[in-house]
Structure 1
């Protein structure tokens, strides 16, 4: 019996019928993205690619980003990962922009490390108050990475990253206020941001807060029992990471 030929258009329709309908919320797309990375399920990236073109306009970029992240787990797919992440970032997805910047800064996705090339992607993500992108720009200004050192700009970026919820930025902001980097020393603000970072379980901040409780640095009221408890929590946090 001769094989039956199927017209390309009918084949495309048949394949589309087997693909889940585009979701109407971001959580479903992100869940499938995590599934694609964790399980290496070949069907998940195909579904994400379909969604990137068929989802509502507001979710197209998210589907493209999740597809890019899934492909990035396989070095052989670096070119495709970059393409989808760039599509997402160009459509306004801050997480995709940060991912591209981070990859260029450290040499991921097949790129040679290049902090200067990474900067525009970080700036794009930072415009949406992306905490990790703001932190990356702050560290570049603080350390003079691919630019002159600028403690004042670093301080402003750390303030924004801290308000956006970055515990690491809070810790660095505390250090800046304590040491007078980009501003006059301010122990009250140094104490405030160190405590905020410690409450968010940032291990270095937890250790420094324990020391402050022990010896009263930064004007902290000494409390030996609280310091002992803080050391215990810091140890647990380190072991759990």
Structure 2
């Protein structure tokens, strides 16, 4: 009788555990986002526990959120755990996890030196998720739309190749990645690509990319346009009104700084 009762009790525990894991695996994204914010802002232990349970249950969004929180700390053990969760999500095809891993390895974490080979591997995987056709065109409204993770990865790859981080410097390869990032809406890439075209004497292309970047509220781009209108550069006629308009836009943009 006792054995039967123990067997029934064990079965109830197993069923309850399975039900809890089933529920955790299907945790809504809004809950995961809330736990992530709380864990980052207040180091809330309950939110961290919830993220861990959902991650153990196989929820990739929770694994990404948990990994992002852990790699942002200074404890080497937690950083290693965070990288493990990010790699699980990244191996399942999550471009945001791949991008974050690329940045973590590029910058080094918790005292570890940068690993440019690993960084490049993850960034290239993220960049391969980009759609064949860029989502942005000259007349698109950029405001409120963050660039795709793959586009941001391409921007970082441009920096790696242009500056020779773990590879031989290759300006052409750098510009290839920079162009890909710019075409997919990364304001910093658009600004840097404009500078490349200015150095090459192609004012029309330089102005086109500079205007896109300025429209996305990058302060450096609006300041460059202000100076261009003041001095009559890139084929523009000097225009004091437009100069002051772009100066005002620059000041506004610094309050809402765009990050890659």
TM-score normalized by the length of structure 1 = 0.82
Q: Which moved more, 1:61-70 or 1:40-49?
A: 40-49
RMSD of Structure 2 on Structure 1 (CA): 2.8
Moved over 6 A (4+): 5-9
- Aligned residue-pair number: 229
Matches of 1:177 and 1:30, distance apart in 2: 40
Q: Report 1:1-241 matches (<5 A).
A: 10=13, 13=16, 17=20, 21-23=24-26, 26-54=29-57, 60-76=59-75, 77-129=78-130, 130-180=150-200, 185-239=201-255, 241=257
Cα distance change of structure 1 residues 141 and 128 upon mapping to structure 2, 3 Å threshold = same
Contact 2:21 2:57 in 1 (8 A): no
Q: Deviations over 1:93-146 (max 9, x none)?
A: 111111111111111245212323311111111111312210011112222222
Cα distance change of structure 1 residues 159 and 19 upon mapping to structure 2, 3 Å threshold = same
TM-score normalized by the length of structure 2 = 0.77
Cα distance change of structure 1 residues 101 and 108 upon mapping to structure 2, 3 Å threshold = same
Cα distance change of structure 1 residues 115 and 20 upon mapping to structure 2, 3 Å threshold = same
Matches of 2:114 and 2:163, distance apart in 1: 17
5+ residue gaps, structure 1, are none
Cα distance change of structure 1 residues 227 and 27 upon mapping to structure 2, 3 Å threshold = farther
Contact 1:78 1:110 in 2 (8 A): no
* Residue 16 of structure 1, CA deviation: 6.6
5+ residue gaps, structure 2, are 1-5, 131-149
